[in-house]
Amino acid sequence: MRGAPVPRGLSVARLSIRVMRAFFMVGGRKLSYLDFGGPGTPVLALHGHYNEASAFTPLAEALAPRWRVIALDQRGHGDSDRAPDYERDGYVADVAAFHRHLGLGPVPVLGHSLGGVNAYQYAARHADRVTALIVEDIGAVVDSDWRFTRRLPRRAPSRQALLDALGSLAGCLECSVRRSEDGWGLSFDIEDTVASQKALSGDHWPDWTAVACPTLLIRGTRSDELAAGHARDMIARRAGAARLVELAAGHVVHHDAPAGFTAAVTAFLSGSG
């Protein structure tokens, strides 16, 4: 089922590729995604907490036409339905359902933060479905600060008022701003996100070390999520199958250092098969 041709918050003038929103059903829930189109090799993209599929628009434009980015609004985010739970297995099952729905063979998978863990857990548990893995600024052991989420503004009288209230986060969260009957807010539920962050926290070493495909780990040097030593340990435990790129950025590397991020992704995808 096809939806609007342009994601919310983006103008046609900003798009140099033809993007389409589409939906599918899984377990009685609607999941939404953006297909950025083109003739290139498909790459599945998974966003982090607070974000949604449209966060990958600049990357999709930069990778086209050689690669065709298809990005999922993960459960409880963007235009996808809320879910009864936000546990690890549910997220991974959604990725598997997304991949099946698209009818694609094995593909590269890219994920940021929450999406990064989902990506490497999917790659570990469905090794025959993933040809290459890109993980952006998240570790094999995660300790999410869910208390910060409860301090996010919930409603504002105008779009600008909400962006002002978000402060330094406004640039990263702009794609998630929505208008509703009672004002302007974000496209994710605060308490759902807290539940998701609590479920994300933990030791995921078994999945990380089980990944068999070539892997790129991208870390922001100013990240408050992935420490330098932990990133190096992740690479060491993969015995030559993974490599690390560090860029001058915070946790949202693709936003803070878009040119460097695109260059790293392009080089890796070009050399991974």
Could you tell me the CATH number of the domain that includes residue 105?
3.40.50.1820
Residue 218 lies inside a defined structural domain of this protein: yes
Q: What is the pLDDT of residue 8?
A: 44
Residue 159 lies inside a defined structural domain of this protein: no
Q: In the chain, how many domains are there?
A: 1
Residue 57 CA: distances (Å) to CA of 34, 36, 203, 218, 252: 9, 8, 31, 18, 14
Percentage of the chain modeled with pLDDT above 90: 88
Q: With 0-12 CB in 10 A as exposed, 13-18 as middle and 19+ as buried, what is 124?
A: buried
Q: What is the pLDDT of residue 16?
A: 61
Q: What is the pLDDT of residue 272?
A: 64
Residue 39 lies inside a defined structural domain of this protein: yes
Q: What is the pLDDT of residue 1?
A: 38
Q: Which residues of the chain have pLDDT under 70?
A: 1-16, 272-273
pLDDT digits (tens, 9 = 90+) for 124-162: 999 999 999 999 999 999 998 899 999 999 999 999 999
Alpha-carbon 238 to chain mean position: 22
Q: Residue type for 43, please?
A: V
> Is 56:74 a contact under the CB 8 Å cutoff?
no
Q: What is the pLDDT of residue 101?
A: 98
Residue 165 lies inside a defined structural domain of this protein: no
Cis check: omega of the bond before 65, within 30 degrees of 0 = yes
Torsion sign across C-alpha atoms 75, 80, 84, 90: negative
The set of long-range contacts for 155-163, using a CB threshold of 8 Å and a minimum separation of 24, is 155/182, 155/183, 155/184, 155/185, 156/183, 156/184, 156/185, 157/183, 157/184, 158/183, 158/184, 159/184, 162/186
Question: Helices (DSSP H) in 104-219: which residue ranges?
Answer: 114-125, 146-149, 159-166, 170-173, 190-200, 205-210
| Beta carbons within 10 angstroms of residue 90's beta carbon | 18
Torsion sign across C-alpha atoms 131, 136, 142, 146: negative
- Cα–Cα dist 59/7, whole Å: 15
> Is 162:182 a contact under the CB 8 Å cutoff?
no
Q: List, in order, residues 6 or more apart from 241 with CB less than 8 Å away.
A: 211, 212, 213, 214, 215
Residue 143 lies inside a defined structural domain of this protein: yes
Residue indicated by tokens 């420490």:
227
Residue 178 lies inside a defined structural domain of this protein: no
Residue 20 lies inside a defined structural domain of this protein: yes
DSSP code, position 2:
B
Q: What is the pLDDT of residue 82?
A: 97
Give the phi and the psi of residue 25 in degrees, each rounded to 5.
-110, 140
Residue 78 lies inside a defined structural domain of this protein: yes
Domain that holds residue 263: 12-148+189-271
Q: What is the pLDDT of residue 143?
A: 95
